[in-house]
Chains A and B, each alone.
Chain A
Amino acid sequence: MTTMTEKVSPGFWRAAGKRLWADKLARGCLFILAVYFVLALASTMGWLAKDWNKQVAVSWAAPTMVGKQQQDSHGFKVEVIAPDAEARALDPLTPFEAELTAAAKAYQQEAVVLADTLPLGADKVGRDIGSKVIKAAQTSITVGLLAALLSVAIGTVFGAVGGYFGGRLGDALEWLYSVFTSMPYILLVLAFASVLGGGVHTVILVLGFTGWTGTYRLIRSEYIKQRSRDYVLAASAIGASDARKMFLHILPNVSHLILVQLSQDVVNFIKAEVILSFLGFGVPVEAISWGIMINEVMPELVLGKWWQLATVATVMSLFVVAFGLFTDQLRDALDPKASRR
């Protein structure tokens, strides 16, 4: 018996990984993305930016490098006065006043000293923009990743079924695809969002349910191409089931496309979340995302408070650019025939 392992050629994935790692740009992007994912993870675990929602500085405290700014003298002071006899008589709580005042002592909190400046400045309600942008990254990256996974999963299954079986089933899926793509994307997303309501989960669902069409077309055409290939016919000859052929034989041969599609979708969905939140259909009031931060910026710029925009724009564009470049490199690495270098 001769052994078949005399000369091991590197596997497809290993070779692709090597090609990717050899590229400096890809390595750089990977490093940046790793930093983002670590930050998002740390914030999810509560190690970072836990108190992002607390007021720590004066309203619109400037970044440290800009220095303390003159506060507008606008504003009203509500003068607290002691109740008169009439108010006491009308107040059903008056008999318990002493008791309540004593009990309230337990809840008395020390007044927080508000900072005049912060490294990245503060927003309208005096929250640290640094913590805020990290917490927002957590939401935005989570939404982007999960929505991309969902949409790619839907697109792949539909594409595989449609491409492999064709016929009536394929026609039905084509019809569904036409319905989804006949509507402008943003309007479709808004329609879904207004039906499902707000919340991080629904944003993920909305983006996942509306964003599968691209993947579907791609995978469908691949399956049509692959289903009559020799290796599939061979599998049929030995009696492999349809499911086995679809997911164990053909799927690995198109998986690089899925991976590329996935990383493209992450970027697209992060941007879509920004739009959704900007239009008021996004994440709920307890959460924060890059989209919400950008939405807050509009009136701030009018008043010359530019630091929130500067921070969120830098952080978000760096992520989107790094992810986009990485996707490009990934596609090149996974497609051995594409030798652009």
Chain B
Amino acid sequence: MKFATFASLVCLVAAAFSPANAQVADMNKILYAYLRGTETGFDPAKYSDTGSVEIFKSIYETLLGYDYLARPQMLVPGAAEAMPEVSEGGRRYTFKIRPGIYFSDDAVFKGRKRELVAQDYVYSLQRLVDQNNRGAPWDFLFKGKIIGLDEKIAEAKRTGKFNYDKPIEGFKAVDRYTFQVNLTRPDYLIPQMMGSPATGAVPREAVEAYGDDFDGHPVGTGPYRLREWQRRNHIVLEANPNFRGITYTPPAGAKVDEPIAAQLAGKTFPRIGVIDIRVIEVPQAAWLAFDSKQLDVMQEMGTAYARMVAPDGVLLQKYQDRKLQFYRESQGNTYWHMFNMDDPVVGGYTPEKIGLRRAISYAYDQQWEANIVKQGQAMPAQTPIGPEVEGYDASYRNSFYRLDPAYGNAILDKYGYKDCDNDGFREAPGCQPLLITYLDQSNRDTRDYDEMLQKMMGSLGIRLKMDKKTFSDLVKQRQAGQYMMSFGGWNLDYPDAENFMQLLYGPNAGPVNEARFKNKEFDQLYEQIASMPPSAERNAKLIRMSKIVAAQAPWILTNHALFSHIAQPWMIGYRPHPSSKEYWQYYDYDQSMRRSMTGR
């Protein structure tokens, strides 16, 4: 009796001091997941690789975010109370931050609760353009758009130090909870940027206290925090006790997966206390782990395994009998072959250079790569824009893309690429030597791909050499324009066509526009679509841009990868997201079912 009184008193006191929606994650629930590539670090300003973003997305909170179930993707408020207020004709965005959001406890806060305020975003967003953050891989989000920001970047270049203390008009904390973005020109994509995981808020005192160790010591307001990290091997996240706890309501007017929405209704998230993530790079090992029930969810399985479990896109009977949950879906990505437009052999805009690139494009077999090399886990691309993205048109067919090596050979003959020395290979006009070097990645298994390229060039009588480099060297060389031909791929940062078209925008030539393509009409169209809200007119411009790309052929489009995801029968509320990120905070599982089937 006495004990009961005391206990209820404790409960009463605890209730009085905790927010109404305190998080209710069950710390005994452990979700077993995997990363198919390695991570590098959890500082959002420094890293943009898939593995790292995947993890830090759950640690930090962005002002806006993409709804878990809405398809096509829809932006919804995150740390902001509501969608931003747009004024000055698209030049000013005002965000109201939800009061009462706290960072996870950390020694740097000296035992006090640290609330998230507008100033945190002013600081965090500026970090994204600070070159001292490993070259600022995210600087394209804001460079050239924000009032006062470019001056600061120029100043930092001079002094070598980015001055965070000097206020700028572009990113402004109007009051404790009001954050304002002021732009140099109207830009309708600012909300999309604020949904990119890179724009999560970090506390300045923690970044400054930990320095480079902030990579492995992230402090955020998100649903999870880092408990344990063994580099490139094992990552453990645990529910952030300071997280407010969220519920799921489908946004108005959105198309959602109804059964999954019903499973989520009325619950407070996150429900799983611990996320145990292993890095498993070999697809076979990942599949065996899933098959033996050591993994609960398997996002993005390897192509051979996807084909094995579902040869025609439908799960085989034996897996259906196990009640596995299976999804095969397109995501916002595009892959291509590209030419360095500054290269003296394959680059340039004279008729014979365009002819050479177009001939190669006629020798490329889109269908072969999608069906044979990628095992049907990819669909041929018609425009640079990835699917599940604003501006993507699934019904559009590009007349420039057809397999016709005979036509390609005719083009080469016309422009004087003749076999002068009768060795079976063509020479460049004027009997200059012609050898195309293709920059490729050495430490991945690309034999199918390489054989396809040899066959493609062989059908035109062009000599090809594969130049194999490690991935980091390859990226460096591509960004510096030290290559002739290579491959490229892009995963969306935000689901808008602009995010894809910027890859070919002239002034972006360099690390972003790696093909260094410059076309006046394309650039003008890009500038128009960048500050235009979605419309039929904008879509027509996007199609025209795609045709320019196909006609000039700085890129030869290949495909959009499809992804297969599989989950164990005990998973509740699981739905893969087209951003290729996991929404762990909404996952749950049936404890008793898992225990009875695995003993875990």
Contact = CB atoms under 8 A, between A and B. Distances in A.
Interface in A106-160: 106-109, 124-125
B354 interface: yes
Interface SS, B side: helix
A124 B303 CA distance: 14
A295 interface: yes
B52 to A, nearest CB: 25
Interface SS, A side: loop
Interface residues of B, number: 55
Contacts of A295: 445, 447
A79 B396 CA distance: 10
A76 B447 CA distance: 22
Contacts of B367: 75-78
B245 to A, nearest CB: 42
B405 A78 contact: no
Contact of A104 (B409, B548, B550): B409
B263 interface: no
Interface in B504-554: 544, 547-548, 550-551
A285 B308 contact: no
B258 interface: no
Contacts of A106: 406, 410
A72 B451 contact: no
Contact of A83 (B307, B358, B399): B399
Given A74-B371, A74-B376, A90-B548, A101 B311 contact: no
Contact of B411 (A74, A84, A93, A125): A93
Nearest to A281: B442
Contacts of B307: 72, 74, 303
B397 interface: yes
B450 interface: yes
A59 B406 CA distance: 24
B351 interface: yes
Interface residues on A, range: 35 or more
B371 A107 contact: no
Nearest to A102: B410
B379 A76 contact: yes
A286 interface: yes
B414 interface: yes
Interface string B394-416: 00010111111111011101100
Given A125-B448, A303-B308, A76 B370 contact: yes
B305 interface: yes
Given A124-B448, A125-B451, A280 B400 contact: no
Contact of A72 (B304, B376, B407, B450): B376
Contacts of B358: 93
A82 B399 contact: yes
A131 to B, nearest CB: 15
A83 B401 CA distance: 10
A101 B404 CA distance: 10
A301 to B, nearest CB: 9
Nearest to A296: B447
A65 interface: no
Interface string B352-374: 00110010000000110011100
Interface string B139-160: 0000000000000000000000
A230 interface: no
B468 interface: yes
Given A76-B380, A302-B308, A59 B372 contact: yes
Given A90-B548, A125-B448, A285-B454, A72 B311 contact: yes
B447 A78 contact: no
B313 interface: yes
A36 to B, nearest CB: 25
A122 to B, nearest CB: 12
B24 interface: no
B413 A73 contact: no
A114 B548 CA distance: 37
A81 interface: yes
B28 interface: no
Interface in A68-103: 72-84, 86-87, 90-93, 96, 99-101, 103
A79 B401 CA distance: 9
A280 B443 contact: yes
Interface string B22-42: 000000000000000000000
B466 interface: yes
Contact of B407 (A79, A81, A104): A104
Interface string B427-464: 00000000000000011110110110010000000000
Given A103-B414, A303-B307, A81 B399 contact: yes
Contacts of B311: 72, 74
B410 A78 contact: no
B284 interface: yes
Find the residue from A73, A76, A79, A303 having the highest chain B CB count within 10 A: A76
Contacts of B406: 104-109
B423 interface: no
A286 B466 CA distance: 10
A243 interface: no
Given A59-B372, A280-B442, A107 B551 contact: no
A23 B328 CA distance: 62
A292 B447 CA distance: 9
A87 B550 CA distance: 9
Contact of B284 (A75, A100, A302): A302
B312 interface: yes
A250 B372 CA distance: 60
A79 B443 CA distance: 35
B379 A302 contact: no
A12 B332 CA distance: 75
Contacts of A302: 284, 287, 304-305, 308
A170 B497 CA distance: 70
B304 A286 contact: no
B551 A103 contact: no
Given A86-B544, A280-B443, A292-B447, A91 B466 contact: no
Contacts of B354: 92-93
Contact of B312 (A74, A92, A96, A101): A74
B360 to A, nearest CB: 13
Find the residue from B406, B409, B450 having the highest chain A CB count within 10 A: B406
Contacts of B376: 72, 74-76
Given A90-B547, A107-B409, A125-B448, A79 B397 contact: yes
Contacts of B303: 299
Given A72-B307, A78-B401, A78-B402, A99 B547 contact: no
Contacts of B351: 92
Nearest to A90: B551
Nearest to A300: B304
Given A75-B371, A83-B399, A84-B399, A280 B445 contact: yes
A340 B551 CA distance: 77
A109 B404 CA distance: 11
Contacts of A214: none
B410 A92 contact: no
A127 to B, nearest CB: 10
A78 B414 contact: no
A218 B305 CA distance: 49
A76 B371 contact: yes
A324 interface: no
A198 interface: yes
Given A74-B307, A83-B399, A124-B448, 18 more contacts: A72-B311, A74-B375, A76-B371, A76-B379, A78-B380, A78-B402, A82-B399, A86-B547, A90-B551, A92-B354, A92-B551, A100-B411, A104-B406, A107-B410, A108-B406, A198-B468, A285-B447, A302-B287
5 contacts: A75-B370, A76-B371, A91-B551, A93-B355, A100-B410
Q: Which 7 A-B pairs have the closest CB atoms?
A: A74-B376, A299-B304, A107-B406, A103-B410, A83-B399, A75-B371, A285-B450
